[in-house]
Structure 1
Amino acid sequence: MPSARRRPATPPTGGHRTDAPRGGRGQATRRVPAGPDLTRPRHRRPARRRRLVELVALVLAVGAAVAVVADRRGADVGAEVFTAEQMPPAPGLAPVSALPVPPSPAAATPAPPVLRLPGPVPSEGRGSFGYDDRVGPVLGETGTLRRYRVAVESGSDEDAGEFAAAVETALTGPGSWVDGGLRLQQVRGDARHDFTVYLATAATAGRMCAAGGVDIRVGGRPYTSCRAPGKVIINLDRWRLSVPHYVSARVPLSVYRTYVVNHEVGHQLGHRHERCPGKGRPAPVMMQQTLFLDGCVANPWPYRDGRRYAGPRL
């Protein structure tokens, strides 16, 4: 009895089965990958596409806006891209690199010179001195060697080493006394020496100068510096404050310091006071520039252009 024909099973959801090939019975059937479910609604895919289209449109709109802004900026955009050396010159104009560069504000306005130091100046110290024990180099190339010490009064609020460095600068030149066939050298406080350079308060300087026969008072108060035998005495007031006619002429404090050292050392070397040789000319270093200039211009050096510069004697 022939067997009953079976009804094919309903294929599972999400796939389908193909019939066996006609070539023969009993061959295995082949599974086909599951395709999309055609029974479900398809409205989601168009929504995704719409969002993608909107995103692309937004990107294109932003790019167009940037291009418009760049086109409007024109030269500004180019200035950001090119350096001064790479910038192509406009017709008839010099390259950017050939144009003068304006100075920076700091370079255009240099710091004003120090004319005097701020703060109170001790009018009287302890009367004792501390020495700078550094041995300095020999200043000058030929001539007699003269040795000097450097001392600062205790209580003057000044450093002996700093004062010694300023004295050495004044005596080194070019333009100082060593340009005239003389050698100078700083030695220790306990070493053999020819003279001592002192920095003293006004009261102490007044007493030391008076003991050497020099009156440095102006208006009843010790004002100038002086030289006593074997002693070059620098008044602390002048060292810190300079003098009014130097300050009004805006002559730096460093210039006054160089002058006063060379002036008083000049006395120690045997030179006397001199006068202004003419209005507008440099003042001789042996002129009493602490008191007046008499039409001359401040000058801290005894030698100029390698030659001794002097004025008429008093």
Structure 2
Amino acid sequence: MTRGSRLVPVLAWLLAVGATTGFIAPPDDGAHKVVAGRQAAVEVPPSKSPTLGFVPEQGGLWRLEIPHDAGGDVRTVRGRSDPPREAGRTVSVRVLVEVGLGIDGQEFARQVMATLNDERGWGHDGSIVFARTDGEADVDVTLASPATTDALCAPVATGGRVSCGRVGFAVLNAERWAHGAEPFLEAGGTVAEYRRYLVSHEVGHVLGQAHVRCPVPGAPAPVMLQQTLGLDGCLPNGWPALGG
């Protein structure tokens, strides 16, 4: 048997694993959601394959190459978690991902919830805490390709570059999740820190927070400053508790 012929069954097995046990399951009955303005959830089972090798430091991505248009098939990441502590209000969160991004949905969901429930997050004052659900929720957090982000955020103009938060849902641009944003990185931030900012900022909009300016050059940026576009002399920051 030649080397090439030995690779054929291996490649076929890998493709089968990716299709059936990767971060997202293929439709088993044709039921899926193609974006038409606002997504409706279809469940995504948890990832069961260690062979595909997502990297937590990459936000759960298997690869950093993000397609401009992944097709608009948006699905819920299956799973639930209780709030980690008591607070004045519990906000339920449903996490969704677009098929074709090359991300482990469970790891993405874990990072989203870890950010939201961090002691430096929106609940730092004890006012709110977040619980994850795969049913109807107060807040949907969706990771989407640039083109799908534009469709979901409309009429907000995201231009394939930025993300959005609106009443009931936040859409995170997967290009930004993978690579961060130049102004943030040039000011000394890291991509991991930018991901915390991205979640906090867009969910902040869902919670009713508006954009603000840099109050004092050299201070940590308020999380509602548009740090994707520029920091105006402030320092990169992804935590509501640290930026004033």
Q: What is the TM-score of this pair, normalised by structure 1? A: 0.56
Structure 1 residues 234-313: aligned runs within 5 Å: 234-304=172-242, 309-310=243-244
**1:253, distance to aligned residue in structure 2 (A):** 1.1
1:212-237 deviation line (CA, Å, top 9, x unaligned): x31112xxxx1110013211100011
Structure 1 residues 1-314: aligned runs within 5 Å: 119-180=64-125, 181-188=127-134, 191-210=135-154, 213-217=155-159, 222-304=160-242, 309-310=243-244
Identity of aligned residues (%): 35
Structure 2: segments with no counterpart, 5+ residues: 1-56
Report the Cα distance in structure 1 between the residues aligned to 2:169 and 2:189, rounded to whole angstroms. 27
Report the Cα distance in structure 2 between the residues aligned to 1:120 and 1:171, rounded to whole angstroms. 26
**1:192, distance to aligned residue in structure 2 (A):** 2.9
For the structure 1 residues 136 and 249, does the alpha-carbon distance in structure 2 shift closer, same or farther, using more than 3 Å as the test?
same
Report the Cα distance in structure 1 between the residues aligned to 2:132 and 2:223, rounded to whole angstroms. 22
**1:274, distance to aligned residue in structure 2 (A):** 0.6
Report the Cα distance in structure 2 between the residues aligned to 1:248 and 1:301, rounded to whole angstroms. 19
How many residue pairs get matched?
185
Letter in 2 for 1:182: I
Question: RMSD of aligned C-alpha atoms?
Answer: 2.0
Runs of 4+ deviating beyond 3 Å: none
**1:184, distance to aligned residue in structure 2 (A):** 1.0
Structure 1: segments with no counterpart, 5+ residues: 1-112
